[in-house]
Amino acid sequence: MSRIMDDDRDLDGLSESERRLADDLRRLAPLMREQESVEGIVSAGFRQALRDHLVYGEEVAPHPTFARALREHLLASRPIAPAAPLLLRRPVWISAMATVIAVLAVLLVSLVERPARPAFAIPRTTRADLLFNLPTSEILVRSMQATVSLIHPRPASPYAGRLSLTAHALPLGPAAVAAYRLGPPPRVMAQVHRLLHIHAAARRIRIDETDWIVAQDGGGHSGRPVHSLAISEATGEVIYHDRRNFQLPHANHPLGAGQAVLAARRWLTRLGWPGRDMPLIGISIVPRAPLLREIALGWRGVRASAIPEATLWVAPNRSVIEAWIWPPVASRTTLGAIPTSEAWDEIRQHAVPVVIAAIGHNLKVPGTGGVAHVSVAEILVTTLHHGAYLVPSYRFSGRVLLARHPHPATWLSFVPSTQ
pLDDT of residue 261: 98
Report which residue type is found at 127.
R
> With contact defined as beta carbons under 8 Å apart, do 335 and 302 qualify?
no
pTM exceeding the 0.75 threshold for the entire prediction: no
Could you tell me the CA-to-CA distances from 69 to 31, 73, 361 in Å, in that order?
A: 17, 6, 49
- CA dihedral sign of residues 342, 175, 60, 394: negative
**Could you list the pLDDT tens digit for every one of the 419 residues in the chain?**
443 344 444 444 566 777 777 777 777 777 666 655 555 555 555 555 555 555 444 444 444 444 544 555 555 544 434 444 433 444 544 554 555 454 454 455 444 444 456 788 999 999 999 999 999 866 556 678 999 999 998 899 999 899 999 998 899 899 999 999 999 999 999 999 999 999 999 999 999 888 999 999 998 888 899 999 999 999 999 999 999 988 787 788 999 999 999 999 999 999 999 999 999 999 999 988 999 999 999 999 999 999 999 999 999 999 999 999 999 999 999 999 999 999 999 999 999 999 998 777 778 899 999 999 999 999 999 998 889 999 999 999 999 999 988 889 999 999 999 97
> With contact defined as beta carbons under 8 Å apart, do 328 and 273 qualify?
yes
375: part of which helix (H) or strand (E)?
Answer: strand 367-382
**Interstrand relation of 367-382 and 163-166 (parallel, antiparallel or unpaired):** parallel
Domains and CATH numbers, the chain: 2-37 (no CATH), 123-139+156-182+333-419 (2.40.128), 140-155+183-332 (no CATH)
pLDDT of residue 232: 96
d(Cα 63, Cα 68) in Å, to the nearest integer?
9
pLDDT of residue 46: 53
E strands present in 123-260:
163-166, 176-182, 203-207, 210-217, 227-232, 238-242
pLDDT of residue 275: 96
Specify the 3-state DSSP secondary structure of 100.
helix
What is the rounded radius of gyration, in angstroms, for the C-alpha atoms of the chain?
30
pLDDT in tens, 50-95: 555 554 444 444 444 445 445 555 555 444 344 444 334 445 445 5
pLDDT of residue 97: 55
Identify the CA nearest to 321 among candidates 354, 340, 294: 294
Angle at 384 between CA 379 and CA 390, to 5 degrees: 20
pLDDT in tens, 280-320: 999 999 988 999 999 999 999 999 999 999 999 999 999 99
Packed helices 16-39 and 64-75: angle between N→C axes, nearest 10 degrees:
150
pLDDT of residue 25: 72
d(Cα 174, Cα 373) in Å, to the nearest integer?
15
pLDDT of residue 319: 95
Helices within 40-164 (DSSP H only): 44-56, 64-75, 92-113, 127-133
pLDDT of residue 65: 46
Beta-carbon contacts of residue 140 (< 8 Å; ≥ 6 apart): 288
> How many CB atoms within 10 Å of residue 257?
15
Half-sphere exposure of 59 (CA within 13 A, CB side): 13
